[in-house]
Amino acid sequence: MERSGNRLPDPATLFLIGTVIVVVVSAIAASQAWTVAQQLPEIDSIQVERDGVVVNEQVLDKDGKPRVTWQTTGETYRAKSLLTRDGFFWLISHLVTNFMGFRPLGVVLVGMLGIGVAERTGLIRALLKAFIAVVPGSLLTPAMVFLGIMSSITLDAGYVVLPPLAAALYLAAG
C-alpha cells in the first residue's frame, strides 16, 4: 500500500490532472448537448388532527425513515464547455468562490497553518512532553481515542489534524 502511495504524483499535480479531466469532460458534455433537469427532494407529509389542532406529520417508509419524493422544478441546465474563452473566464473568475464554498478546505488550511506555526515555535514539542509526563504509557492509546472523539465533536477537521499529532506523540514516547 505504501509503495503505491509513494508512486502517486504530488498533490498539486493530482489536482491539476483532475482539473484537466473536468475541463475535457465539460467540452465533451457541451458538444454532445448534455442537459439535466433540476429535481429537489420533498419530504412527504400528511395533515393530522391532534387535540383539535391540525398538524403536518411526516410519512414514514417501512424502515421508519421519512419518505422522500423528488419533484421536478421544470428548470433544465445545459452543459457548458470550459475550453471556450467564456468558459475559461468563468473558471478563473469563480476560482476563489469555488474554493471558499468548500468548507472543509478552509478548516484544513487554517489547521495546517496553525500546526505549522506551533511546530516551528516549539509549542507542539513542549505540549507533547507535558502530555507524556502526565499520561502513563499504558494509557497513551486510550488517551488518543479520547482526543479523537473530542476533536471530532469540537472540530470538523479533527480526523485530519489528530493523526499526525498522534504519530508525533507516539514517536516522542518511544
Considering the chain, what is the average pLDDT of its residues?
84
65 and 92 belong to one structural domain: no
Same-domain status, 22 and 85: yes
- Tell which of 26, 56, 72 closes a domain: 72
Question: Is residue 91 domain-shared with residue 137, that is, in the same domain?
Answer: no
pLDDT tens digits for range 116-137:
888 788 887 777 777 777 888 7
- The pLDDT of residue 100 is 81
- What range defines the domain where residue 167 resides? 103-173
Per-residue pLDDT reduced to its tens digit, 44-54? 888 888 888 88
Q: Mark whether 66 and 117 lie in a shared domain.
A: no
Mean pLDDT of the region 165-171: 80
10 and 64 inside one domain: no
Share of the chain above pLDDT 90, in %: 26
114 with 167, same domain: the answer is yes
Residues 151 and 108 in one domain: yes
Q: Are residues 167 and 107 in the same domain?
A: yes
What pLDDT shows up at residue 75? 94
Report the domain count for the chain: 3
Do both 115 and 169 map to the same domain? yes
12 and 90 belong to one structural domain? yes
Question: What's the CA gap between 159 and 128, in Å, rounded?
Answer: 18
Q: What is the pLDDT of residue 156?
A: 60
DSSP 51: T
pTM of the predicted protein model: 0.52
The answer to whether residue 157 scores a pLDDT higher than 60 is no
Categorize the per-residue pLDDT at 103 as very low, low, confident or very high, splitting at 50, 70 and 90: confident
**Whether 143 and 164 share a structural domain:** yes
Closest CA to 105 of 11, 2, 24: 11
